[in-house]
């Protein structure tokens, strides 16, 4: 995915920023934030508009493409945005390189693992039979 060259003129000349690719990370965090503005509002509006919030109604909602597709996007973009945001917090407060690496790696595993569980659960609903 390319959103153009995000480096500053000086950064382009020197070939790196402090994080070597900080511009990309900065932009991705903002692009995902705008996506989540819509996806988060969609989730709350959907739950408010459903006639009931029992298991059967919710499964029918996520079984239909109109529910399953935005929910899949919310999961993927949500976990990605969380990972990007947590990296900023970790990099701000944890300066020792070893600890910084381990914490960022742990967050990566948590985000990918959590996202996989959420997507699996959604797939089971979307492709399963409606109870």
Residues lying near another protein in the complex (CB under 8 A): 30, 33-34, 37, 40, 44, 48, 55, 58-59, 62, 71, 75, 78-79, 82, 85-86, 89, 114, 117-118, 120-122, 124-125, 128, 131
**Least separation in angstroms between CB 123 and another protein:** 8
Q: Kindly state the smallest distance separating residue 10's Cβ from another protein, in Å.
A: 19
- The tokens of 11 are what? 């950064």
Q: Whole-angstrom Cα distance, residue 58 to residue 71?
A: 12
Cβ at position 17, least distance to another protein in Å:
17
Closer CB to another protein, residue 19 or residue 34? 34
Closer Cβ to another protein, 14 or 30, answer by number: 30
Q: Which is nearer to another protein, 11 or 72 (CB)?
A: 72
Crossing angle of the two packed helices 65-93 and 55-63, in degrees rounded to 10: 90
H or E segment and range at residue 43: helix 22-49
Q: How far is the CB of 109 from another protein (least distance, A)?
A: 14
Q: What's the gap between Cα 43 and its chain centre?
A: 14
Rounded to whole angstroms, the Cα distance separating 29 from 24 reads 9
Nearer to another protein, 69 or 121 (CB): 121
E strand spans, the chain: none
Nearest Cα to 75, choosing from 36, 124, 110?
A: 36
């Amino acid at each position: 995915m390319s959103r153009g060259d995000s480096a500053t003129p000086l950064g382009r000349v020197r070939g790196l920023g402090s994080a070597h690719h900080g511009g990309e990370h900065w932009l991705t965090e903002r692009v995902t934030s705008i996506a989540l503005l819509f996806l988060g509002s969609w989730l709350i509006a959907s739950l408010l508009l459903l006639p009931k919030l029992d298991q059967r109604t919710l499964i029918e909602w996520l079984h239909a493409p109109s529910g399953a597709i935005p929910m899949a996007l919310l999961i993927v973009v949500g976990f990605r945005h969380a990972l990007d945001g947590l990296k900023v917090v970790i990099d701000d407060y944890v300066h020792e390189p070893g600890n910084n690496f381990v914490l960022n790696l742990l967050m990566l595993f948590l985000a990918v693992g959590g996202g996989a569980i959420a997507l699996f659960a959604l797939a089971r609903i979307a492709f399963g039979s409606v109870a």
